[in-house]
């Protein structure tokens, strides 16, 4: 009887840490970033404003990609010079 409780405890802890890991992965991958888009969509009434919001979002994504690319390039330069 006592060994069954230990097995349930260990399985419960493993499942909990697995779910926590999946949640952390989802947050890091940006799976939960749509909250701002929903709220901004409610505030923008006209199609022009919605188009502006889409362009702004694309620009932010482009800037993030450029920043990541510069970081990689900088790392490569450091490796080749070192």
Q: How does pLDDT run across 43-72, given as a tens digit for each residue?
A: 656 778 778 888 999 999 998 888 888 888
pLDDT given for residue 47 in this prediction: 78
pLDDT given for residue 71 in this prediction: 82
In this structure, the answer to whether residues 40 and 68 fall within a common structural domain is yes
pLDDT given for residue 25 in this prediction: 93
Rounded Cα distance, 21 and 29, in Å: 12
In this structure, the answer to whether residues 18 and 44 fall within a common structural domain is no
Rounded Cα distance, 57 and 55, in Å: 5
Containing domain of residue 81, as a range? 36-82
Contact 57, 37 (CB under 8 A): yes
Domains of the chain: total: 2
| Residue bearing the bigger pLDDT, 25 or 80 | 25
In this structure, the answer to whether residues 27 and 52 fall within a common structural domain is no
In this structure, the answer to whether residues 45 and 6 fall within a common structural domain is no
Q: pLDDT for 2-50, tens place per residue?
A: 889 999 999 999 999 999 999 999 988 888 777 666 666 666 567 787 7
pLDDT given for residue 74 in this prediction: 78
In this structure, the answer to whether residues 40 and 28 fall within a common structural domain is no
Which residue stretches of 1-82 are H helix? Answer: 2-28, 35-43, 47-81
């Amino acid at each position: 009887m006592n060994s069954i409780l230990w097995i349930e405890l260990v399985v419960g802890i493993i499942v909990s840490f697995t779910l926590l890991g999946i949640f952390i992965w989802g947050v890091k991958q940006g799976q939960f970033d749509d909250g701002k888009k929903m709220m901004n969509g409610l505030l923008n009434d006209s199609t022009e404003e919605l188009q502006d919001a889409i362009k702004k979002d694309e620009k932010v994504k482009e800037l993030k990609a450029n920043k990541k690319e510069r970081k990689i390039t900088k790392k490569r330069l450091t490796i080749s010079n070192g």
